[in-house]
Structure formats: structure tokens, C-alpha cells
Amino acid sequence: MSDMAKLELDGKTIELPIITGTENEKAIDIRALRAQTGYVTLDNGFMNTGSCESKITFLNGEKGILRYRGYPIEQIAEQSNFVEVAYLLNFGKLPNQKELDFFNEKIASFATLPEGITKIIDQFPTNSHPMGVVSAVTSSLSAFYPEFLKTPLTDVDRERAIAQLLAQVKIIAAYFYRRTVGKNPHRSHPSLGYASDFLNMMFYEEGYEVDPEVAKALDVLLMLHADHEQNCSTSAVRLIGSSQANIFATISGGIDALWGQLHGGANQRVLEMLEAIQEDGRGYKKFIEKAKDKNDSFRLMGFGHRVYKNFDPRAKIIKKACDTILERLNIQDPLLDIARGLEEEARKDSYFVDRNLYPNVDFYSGIIYKALGIPTNMFTVMFVLGRLPGWMAQWKEMREDPTLKISRPRQIYTGENLREFTNIADR
Ligand code: ACO
């Protein structure tokens, strides 16, 4: 089979190399197209553009496949834990016990925040959205660790940055949460394990002990969110990181991209939508009709995905985990019935069927977070904690690539042609 694609353009035939991935995915390499023809490609929203080659995550949206470094997400969720997954994504292999212990120790060595950082957090109004706070404070870390401003970073620097952000972002999130509920901060105890430590920092009070079932449920959610190849926030991380911006600014940009309601912010919106349906009391059909109405900007939150067109394998696992954890905690949440009914109704409706719109990772995750005691405005922060290892693995892979180029898309200009400047008095 030919490994070149032929393109006929302006009476000329141009040959473009075909790139084949390890799962037989194919791409046409158009890098030389402009030099050869003067043409660029146009792809609003990057519907069909590969922005990089990557060894980290494989995703097949048609078949509902998701694998981290070759391992199926179903096996990961069943058998692994979040720190191990962070190691796997970043270092390309499952760690042995010694490697995992060392990684955990490294994370544990960043179990405090600089005093200046806690002072910054203390200045935010307690009604600030925690995503804005977590993003701003993550960026502020650059002021306290100027050693990360140098380029290039060494391998040791990169490994340290990964451990440091895994440790400190969760402390920032929990510290701010406690402020919002008028509680003193509670220090990190990394020996509890990643998820338990976070829950303990969030909810500690006299007599509080982390329920291991709750910690396990959170750990699974974090693993399921850990990477998702070149999604919006990860692409933002790669784009910012390609300019050799520092790691804290780069991850802060990823957090901001995730915040949007079409991306990670959807998990908060799903719960708010379910509550609105509950409050409305007239059933979910009205909301389905709203979502279908092209004159209404309302969308069924937690439904649809750019890449998954049959089902989101993470949503399948989360839906099951949701049943399990609510049963274990003996919680009857009417929102779960509403979510189930909404899903059932939408999946019978030709609007959603024809457009391949299925529940995504965000549809049921909020109901679990709610059951774990996480406030609604912190849901997207939970996504940040989960996605951090993926962002850093993608950043690391990119920065270790000796052929790295700054990301700089082209455009097709559709504005005014050349015209004479007029002085303000003549306008
Ligand atoms: N509710 C109603 N209609 C929808 C929805 C939805 N949730 N999602 C897509 N559609 C419709 C669109 O209106 C469009 O219809 P049309 O062809 O008649 O114009 C069609 O389905 C295709 O939608 P696009 O927006 O073109 O699909 P795209 O791939 O660009 O968007 C996205 C994907 C952003 C996830 C979209 O499905 C959406 O807005 N979903 C709701 C928000 C959400 O849950 N986001 C989380 C995604 S997962 C994640 O990022 C972690």
C-alpha cells in the first residue's frame, strides 16, 4: 500500500506522506503543503486535525476504547490506583513497588504550601469560584519556585514538577474550601493515600475518619479523568507549553480551559440541571425539548462528545460506580432517578440517536461527588485533580521532544483589504 497520498491542486499532483500509528490510525502529513502549494488547511475547532504524535493515551471514539499507555481503562479502574496511574502516564510503565514508593515519597515531600501562597489564598473572597482560585494560585507558584523559570528544565526538574503539582494543587483546593466554610486549614497527611489525604484535608474535624469506600470511589473517579489525549484543556497545555512558558503557568492555562461548561465545567452544570429538573417538578421531557430547540441555547449537559460516538467507556464505569457507592453509603438520591430517566428518554429520542449523543464522563460523576460530600462548585476542581497527571505527561512528552516547535496555527483572513488610515477628525 502506498505510504503517500496524492493531492491534485491547480493542475499539479502533490505527494503527501501518510503517517500510521501503532493502532493503525492514519494521517496525512500536510506540513510541507504550504511550501509546495501556498495552501494551508482549514479546520475550525480542530474537528479533524492531529496536533501531535503521542505515546500516552489511545482513544477510539467509534468503538468506545480508552487506554492509558496500552492498558484498558476498565482494567485500570478495577486494579490500579491514582498515584500509580500518574506514574504510568508520566513515565510510560507501571511502577514496581520500589519505584512507586519513591514516587509517593517525592509527592509527600511537597506536603506544605509556602506561607506566601496561603496568604494569597486568604485574600480571595470566600464566594469566589474555586476554579478561578485554583488556577490563579497554581500560576502564583511560579513566584515561589523561580528555579522552574529556567529553560531547558532537566529530567530531574520535570520529575520534581510532576510530584510537586500532584501534592500542592490538592492542598490549594482543600485549603480554599475550608476557608469558604469558615474552618481552619487542615494539614496534608500523604501517608493516608492520595484520595484519603484530600478528603481528610477537606472534611477533618474532631472524630472524622475517612471512609475507605468513599476514598476508593474518589480514587476511581480520579483515575478515569487522568488523561484523554488532545482534548481542549490538554491542547491548551501543549499550546502554552510549546512557547516554553513555565510549568505553573502552563498548568494554570489547562485549568482555565477545563473550567468551560462545554468541557470539565459540564460536571457542575449537570448537577445544576438535575436540580433544576427536580425543582421544576414537571419531569425531564421539557428539558429534552429545550435541548432540541435550535432557538434555545440550552444543551443537555453531560451529553455528547467530540470523539465518542457510541458510548463513553468512562461514563459506563462511572454509572456503575454511582449505583455501588450510593448503595454502600445508603443514600437515596432522587437526582439519580432523574438522571437515569433523562438518559433513558434521550436515548429513545431520534434527535439524540441521530447525532450520536450519549452520556459522557460528566453525566453521573456529579452524583458521586455529591454523595462524597463535595460541594457542587468544587466538581470541576475534582476534575483538575484527576486530569493533572495527564496534562503533565503531555507537557513532559512535548518538552522532551527534540523536534518541538512552538504551536502556531495559520488562518484564512476574511477582513478588509488594504485601506488608507483616516485621522480622527475626518471620520
Ligand atoms: N444537547 C443538545 N444537543 C447537542 C448536545 C447536547 N448536549 N451536544 C451536541 N448537540 C447537537 C448540536 O446542537 C449539533 O446539532 P446540529 O448538528 O443539529 O447542529 C450536534 O449535536 C453536534 O454538536 P456539536 O456541538 O457540533 O459537537 P461537538 O463535537 O462540537 O461538541 C460537546 C461536543 C461540546 C461535548 C457537545 O456535545 C456539548 O456541548 N455537550 C454538552 C456539554 C458537555 O457535556 N461537555 C462535556 C464533554 S466531556 C468533557 O469535556 C470532559
Mutation pick for ligand 1 pocket among 57, 268, 355 (CB with most ligand atoms within 8 Å): 355
Closest C-alpha to ligand 1, atom 4: 299
| Whether residue 43 lies in the annotated active site | no
Residue 191 CA from chain centroid, whole number: 26
Q: How far is the CA of 303 from the centre of ligand 1 (A)?
A: 7
All three cell numbers of 119, joined, read: 496568604
Contact 190, 107 (CB under 8 A): yes
Rg over alpha carbons for the chain, rounded to the nearest Å, is 23
pTM over 0.85: yes
Using CB distances shorter than 6 Å, the residues near ligand 1 are 45, 262-264, 266, 291, 299-306, 355, 357, 360-362
| Whether residue 228 lies in the annotated active site | no
Instruction: Find the catalytic residue in 225, 228, 263, 305.
Output: 305
Pairing relation of β-strands 65-68 and 71-72? antiparallel
Q: 352: which residues sit within 8 A by CB, 6+ positions away?
A: 300, 303, 346, 358
| Contacts of the segment 57-62: beta carbons below 8 A, 24+ positions apart | 57/89, 57/227, 57/228, 57/229, 57/390, 58/22, 58/23, 58/229, 59/228, 59/229, 59/307, 60/23, 61/305, 61/306, 61/307, 61/308, 61/309, 61/310, 62/309, 62/310
Average pLDDT for runs of 10 along the chain of length 427: 88 96 97 96 97 97 96 98 98 98 98 98 98 98 96 93 98 98 97 98 97 95 98 98 97 98 97 96 90 96 94 93 92 92 93 95 94 96 98 97 95 98 97
Q: How far is the CA of 362 from the centre of ligand 1 (A)?
A: 13
Closest C-alpha to ligand 1, atom 21: 355
Sequence ranges of the domains in the chain: 4-50
Query: DSSP letters along 186-237, please?
Result: ----GGG-HHHHHHHHHH--TT----HHHHHHHHHHHHHTS--SS-HHHHHH
Q: How far is the CA of 219 from the centre of ligand 1 (A)?
A: 28
Q: How far is the CA of 377 from the centre of ligand 1 (A)?
A: 22
Residue 380, CA atoms < 13 Å, CB-side half-sphere: 28
Q: How far is the CA of 302 from the centre of ligand 1 (A)?
A: 9
Rounded CA separation 245/325 (Å): 41
Q: In the prediction, which pLDDT does 178 show? A: 98
Q: How far is the CA of 348 from the centre of ligand 1 (A)?
A: 17
Mutation pick for ligand 1 pocket among 228, 360, 384 (CB with most ligand atoms within 8 Å): 360
* Third-level CATH fold of 4-50: Rubrerythrin, domain 2 (2.20.28)
Q: In the prediction, which pLDDT does 1 show? A: 52
Mutation pick for ligand 1 pocket among 59, 227, 299 (CB with most ligand atoms within 8 Å): 299
Nearest atom, ligand 1, residue 307 CA: 29
Q: In the prediction, which pLDDT does 2 show? A: 60
Nearest atom, ligand 1, residue 383 CA: 51
User: Which has the closest alpha carbon to 181: 129, 126, 223?
Assistant: 126
